[in-house]
Amino acid sequence: MGPFEVAPGTQWDLPIDFEHGMFPPKSNSPRYQQRAQRKMPQMGDISARSALTIHRGTANHSDKSRPALVLGVDAPTANNAERHDLQITRTFYETLPESLKQHLTCRIVDELEIIEQGHTIEGLMMGEA
């Protein structure tokens, strides 16, 4: 399996000349390569970072899958939940305290459903997301 790479400190970069506001120009690559840190998480590890940090997955050259849970936290006005399909089973939801439930934007389901990713990086870049 290949590592996950992050370029610490880049969350503060202004997205000047970023394609679609997300993809930095190739001229920034040397700076990101200089900062790059490779992470090889093990089962149970947690990584906390801003989604604005320049990051990428690398090629997975093994037959082992590389599952990951990504948990995002949003400002109240960001409305990113509209782009995602967070599901929580009714049984689990009922165990949560009310103080937590009021912060969740999710579908309550009897059984978790498979989620198909709604876009690809290529689709985002080509405006087909």
Q: Domain count of the chain?
A: 2
Confidence label for 7 from pLDDT (cuts 50, 70 and 90): very high
* Same domain for 78 and 60: no
Specify the pTM. Answer: 0.61
What pLDDT digit, counting tens, does each position of 55-103 carry?
Answer: 888 887 888 877 777 777 777 777 777 777 889 999 999 999 999 999 8
* Same domain for 84 and 39: no
* Same domain for 91 and 57: no
> Which residues have CB under 8 Å from 47's CB, separation 6+?
4, 39, 41
* Same domain for 54 and 21: yes
* Same domain for 92 and 57: no
Q: Is residue 122 part of a domain?
A: no
* Same domain for 9 and 44: yes
Q: Is residue 30 part of a domain?
A: yes
Task: Give the range of the structural domain holding residue 8, as residue numbers without chain letter.
Answer: 1-65
